[in-house]
Amino acid sequence: MKKNLTLALAVAALIIGSLQKINAQNWKFGGNASASDTTLGTTNNHALRIITKGVDRMRITADGKVGIGTATPTTIFHVVGSQTLSGNLNFVGGNQLIQFANPPASAKPMIYMFKSGTANNNRMVLAHSSSYPDWGLQYNDGIDQFDFLGAGSSKLAINLSNGNIGIGTATPANKLHVVGNQTLEGNLTFTQGTQSIQFANPGATPAPMMYMFASGTVNAARMVIAHSPGFPTWGLQYSDNGDQFDFLGAGSSRMTVNLSNGNVGIGVTAPVYRLEVCGTIRAKEVRVETGWCDYVFEKDYKLRSIDELEKYINDNKHLPGIAPASEVEKDGLKVAEMNKAMMEKIEELTLYVIQLSKENKKLQADIEALKK
């Protein structure tokens, strides 16, 4: 009995000593009996540490910062090491963000995501840093558009509603709208049959003043360059079928260049000669390169007698070697051949004059002889 009393007194002393030690360190435990006293922690200025194997696994500092994997948390929740989330990560504030920071505490974050969650307004998805908040990727709920920003200006805009993309503009009006100069180091291909390149007046009211390659129907006439959509039949037209360019005015060909045969027509849509003109031509000089008529002065040239020439004219009503009027009216005048024929007649006339001069001198000599 005495032995049992001694053991009970020793246990009681141990319990009392432990409670006194706990109270001295300001630890406080509370059960569920009192709702206002269900606590675990300290009442002094020391951190609450959770330790396994003698190593800090989590620490709650006196100012409320929670650190996992670190003894010196710098934010409300500071984790050092990899994390895995099996659920959603929700931000309930209107101006919260995810920052990707350089590890030293003195370094500023270099990228952040989802800054400001105000509905139907601009908000950054990815930004360079807190020092450059207007460099990065911005999203606008109101117009469903992403903008890649540089110094606050949209460098590339992608509108998710209409699919338009803008480079150098935040309000793209077409599938690809570029404001500024462009350089292409490849082909520009149009796959639809009625597409065109338009050179528009920058103003909102005037229509485009020029377009290229409208209508791509194979083997049909199509405009290469036109004045404008308001005047689609003024410009340069190409036809695959005839391999021919036509310069049009009010839909009529003013000049034609046929690539197959090399013929050029002015006022003619199907030229059959190298240069065929329907209309008056004025030239400062025309040079024709062809054979000339000096053969008339050769000794073996047969010059018609005056009597033979007279008979030919009476029978045919035109000079020999000269096309009759009916032929010229039908087929036109061949300038080179006519010039050659006219020179032949001039040289023949020269021979006739020389012949008449000789005969005249002989007659004068005979007259002088008769006078004696």
146 and 160 Cβ atoms separated by less than 8 Å: yes
Give the residue among 185, 145, 186 at the shortest CA–CA distance from 166. Answer: 145
Return the top range by mean pLDDT from 61-75, 76-90, 208-222: 61-75
The pLDDT value given to residue 38? 63
Mean pLDDT of the chain: 79
Q: Kindly indicate the confidence band of residue 262, based on its pLDDT and cuts at 50, 70 and 90.
A: very high
Of the chain, the percentage scoring pLDDT greater than 90 comes to 21
CA pair distance 99, 91, nearest whole angstrom:
13
Does the pLDDT value for residue 91 go beyond 80? no
Render pLDDT for 122-171 as a digit per residue (tens, 0 to 9). Answer: 777 788 877 888 888 988 878 889 999 999 899 999 999 999 999 999 99
pTM of the model: 0.48
Strands 27-29, 40-42: pairing kind? antiparallel
The pLDDT value given to residue 217? 55
Q: What is residue 154's DSSP assignment?
A: E
Q: Which of 78-92, 221-235, 323-337 has the lowest mean pLDDT?
A: 221-235
Render pLDDT for 111-121 as a digit per residue (tens, 0 to 9). Answer: 666 655 556 66
Mean pLDDT of 238-255: 87
- The b/e string for 35-46 (b: 16+ C-beta within 10 A; e otherwise) is eeeeeeebeeee
The pLDDT value given to residue 222? 72
Does the pLDDT value for residue 186 go beyond 60? yes
Mean pLDDT of 304-313: 90
Q: Kindly indicate the confidence band of residue 63, based on its pLDDT and cuts at 50, 70 and 90.
A: very high
The pLDDT value given to residue 116? 55
The pLDDT value given to residue 147? 93
Q: Which of 29-43, 181-195, 349-363 has the lowest mean pLDDT?
A: 29-43
The pLDDT value given to residue 121? 67
CA distances from 249 to 198, 227, 267 (A): 19, 10, 11
238 and 252 Cβ atoms separated by less than 8 Å: no
The pLDDT value given to residue 109? 59
Q: Is 32 exposed, middle or buried (0-12, 13-18, 19+ CB in 10 A)?
A: exposed
Mean pLDDT of 49-59: 88
Instruction: Give the H or E element holding residue 348.
Output: helix 335-371
Is pLDDT larger for residue 15 or for residue 276?
276
Beta bridge partners of 197: 212
The pLDDT value given to residue 3? 46
Render pLDDT for 14-36 as a digit per residue (tens, 0 to 9). Answer: 444 444 444 444 445 544 455 56
**Where exactly are the structural domains of the chain?**
46-79, 94-177, 194-282, 295-371
Q: Which of 80-84, 188-192, 269-273, 316-320 has the lowest mean pLDDT?
A: 188-192
Is pLDDT larger for residue 72 or for residue 223?
72
Q: Which two tokens stand for residue 115?
A: 């800054």
